[in-house]
Amino acid sequence: MLMVFPLSAHRVERKASLVLYLPLDEGKGVLVQDRSRFRNNGTINGKPTWLPGKRGNALRFHGAKTNAFVDVRPSASLNGMGAHTLSFWLQWDGQGASWSPLLTKRPVDVTDPDQCSTWVRSDGRFDYRNDHGTVFANRNVRLTNEWTFLAVTHDGKDTVTFFIDGVPAGKKKLTKAASNDGPFVIGSGRHLAGDFGAGTIDEVAIFDSDLTAAEIKELREQGPMVSKRAK
């Protein structure tokens, strides 16, 4: 499936594929729908709070107070991540621990290595980590109740690029991790094993390519434009 940005359709030639898109617009219940063609739907665990989001609704996570997370079960479309992009909107409330795990892909066995994860720490540092280490953006996320768009890419080799509100925020070297068949989790660093994040999250998306700076900017402005095939 092609990723379509209406303002610059010619960029679709890169054939970036949207493998997960959770608008988090349900507003109730425990199921969240993936609007990509892969149907990687999620299940809410614990008691996050439904709130108005950046677009539609969003989920607020309360850290260890409610031990809440969204669990996306293992899927072949999420397992073989070479080059990839993780993106989401965050409204930080300053209530997390010294780290605040937000998106994580790792096996159920927490002793196994991370495939990838991204966190925002209590001092505002935005990171990306895998089994080979942790790297940080060159500037911090605003620790306020404002919505901030965060994205991070890995080129599938050894380069991680951060974006804050659509603006590049540094390139760092980090060897890619081996893929695994574990779940993808929103709001927790370890599947069913603690390290719960805090803050309000909206519009979670994963692509199986490292989007360009121009594509990240348009993703922030337009959101993932899901084709008819994906609906």
**203-213 pLDDT tens trace:** 999 999 999 99
For residue 229, being part of any structural domain is answered with no
pTM of this structure: 0.88
Residue type (1 letter), 28: K
For residue 193, being part of any structural domain is answered with yes
Rounded to the nearest 5 degrees, what angle is found at the Cα of 87, between the Cα atoms of 109 and 125? 80
Which CATH number is 19's domain given? 2.60.120.200
pLDDT digits (tens, 9 = 90+) for 158-184: 999 999 999 999 999 999 988 888 889
Give the CA dihedral 226, 227, 228, 231, nearest 10 degrees. Answer: -30
Cα separation of 20 and 146, whole Å? 25
What range defines the domain where residue 195 resides? Answer: 9-224
For residue 104, being part of any structural domain is answered with yes
For residue 231, being part of any structural domain is answered with no
Buried-state track 40-67, b at ≥16 Cβ within 10 A, e below 16:
bbbebbbebebeebbeebbbbbbbeebb
For residue 63, being part of any structural domain is answered with yes
Residue type (1 letter), 208: D
Residues of the chain scoring pLDDT < 70: 1-16, 81, 94-100, 108-114, 189-194, 225-231
Number of domains in the chain: 1
Classify 11 as helix, strand or coil.
helix
For residue 2, being part of any structural domain is answered with no
For residue 3, being part of any structural domain is answered with no
